[in-house]
Amino acid sequence: MKNCPQYWDLMFACWHAGLAAVPMNAKLHAKEFEYIIGNCGAKASFFDPTEFAQLDGEPREPVAVRPDDLAWLFYTSGTTGVPKGAMITHRNLLFATQAYFADIDKLGPGDAALHPAPLSHGSGLYGLPHFAAGAVNVIPESGGFDAAEIFDLLERWPNASFFAAPTMIVRLLASPAARTPATLKTITYGGAPMYVADSLRAIELFGPRLYQLFGQGESPMTITGLPQSFHANRTHLETCGFARTGVEVKVLESGEIVTRSDCVMAGYWNNPGATAQTLRGGWLHTGDIGRMDEQGFLTILDRSKDMIISGGSNIYPREVEEVLLRHPAVAECSVVGRPHPEWGEEVVAFVVLKDQRVKAQTQDLDTLCLSSIARFKRPKDYRFVAALPKNNYGKVLKTELRKRL
């Protein structure tokens, strides 16, 4: 179902009944629904508010559940292969809620959370600290993301916060309805790296009310964070901050980011092989490549599978993308590797222009790259496209771009 008030009724009903909830994004394909429902072995499915407006049955006493009981099967977004069900326990959800209070905001009954992003993922997780504090959870009438509606709701509900993927923030900035909200509390953003150029534009419009987070479904929303104060000072924006309260984070020699805390999942549903591989050594292996400076600030370079190896040298696509986005004509871009008989791989950039009628010269983009990064990292080919392929959570599907090559 789309975001709606009944969503929360069902979530808490599941938990009070001692059941595990399996939220699913309404935008998924029918085959994806079929896979998830079959994989988790659901005994009941609720699919549209009009279908369960009237629920029959006698009320029952809440079941006594333990902290380590399963609460939420959080299916990954499946950018590669089939999605896996991360087993999130009540302890995990409580830890994430308390980390919100410790690191992001103190909340109370005078605050509100807007939910333009799917409740089946990040936005739903951040509804929980608002419930815990007696704050208001606001479901947009559209049931989804509408920039003009969001700006109107920010005026209607004082001290409102919301979670957004970076692509959503870019759309807010580009909206004709864009304006600086008077009483906005916080925008938390994550799910993919935010380019520095976009962060600076967001700070200009919204002020220092942004909190960047790095998390995964396997450690929901809670690995590292970059607080509002760093956005105010415009420092460390290229990083995703430092370890959250009660969370350990380190970068292995291979460059992979690993974490452990009470937020880390119990494992993958009915997938002991993937569980053993991902939780080996007592750490959650994120699959992300990064580096950590002496102060503990973590910079995500890329997913390990997206790293390009050309002539024996590692090239991180994000590094090239950050440079290309400085060009005034470039709206979005994504860099991937293409097989090369001599070098192994070569760099190719897919570019979306702000105005499709205005052509950006590849020579200008080359010059920009050569002024900032090593020559071997610059794209050997530029593909100008109308849009980048994305999944339902706004993540660019680099697998699709590689297929095009």
pLDDT of residue 241: 96
Q: How many CA atoms lie within 13 A of 72 on its CB side?
A: 29
Radius of gyration of the chain (CA): 21
pLDDT of residue 51: 47
pLDDT of residue 308: 86
pLDDT of residue 55: 58
Cα 355 off chain centre by: 27
Rounded to an integer, what distance in angstroms lies between the CA atom of residue 243 and that of residue 292? 11
pLDDT of residue 281: 94
Q: Output the CA torsion sign for 78, 79, 82, 86.
A: negative
pLDDT of residue 26: 78
Nearest to 395 by CA among 170, 155, 196, 192: 192
Beta bridge partners of 349: 335, 382
pLDDT of residue 271: 93
List the Cα angle 35/163/227 in 5-degree steps.
Answer: 130
pLDDT of residue 79: 47
Residue ranges and CATH numbers for the domains of the chain are 5-302 (3.40.50.12780), 307-404 (3.30.300.30)
Rounded to an integer, what distance in angstroms lies between the CA atom of residue 234 and that of residue 288? 25
What is the distance in angstroms between the CA of the first residue and the CA of the last residue of the chain? 36
pLDDT of residue 45: 86
**pTM for this prediction:** 0.79
Summarised one tens digit per residue, pLDDT across range 71-128 is 999 988 654 557 789 999 999 999 999 999 999 999 999 999 999 988 888 889 999 9
Which residue stretches of the chain have pLDDT < 70?
Answer: 48-57, 77-81, 302, 304, 312, 358, 392-393
Q: Report which residue type is found at 383.
A: R
pLDDT of residue 305: 74
Residue with token string 């105005």: 355
Crossing angle for the helix pair 90-103 and 122-132, to the nearest 10 degrees = 70
pLDDT of residue 354: 86
Decide if 118 contacts 110 (C-beta within 8 A): no
List the Cα angle 400/402/405 in 5-degree steps.
Answer: 115
Tell me the three state secondary structure of residue 227.
coil
Beta bridge partners of 389: none
What is the biggest distance separating any 2 CA atoms in the chain, rounded to whole angstroms? 71
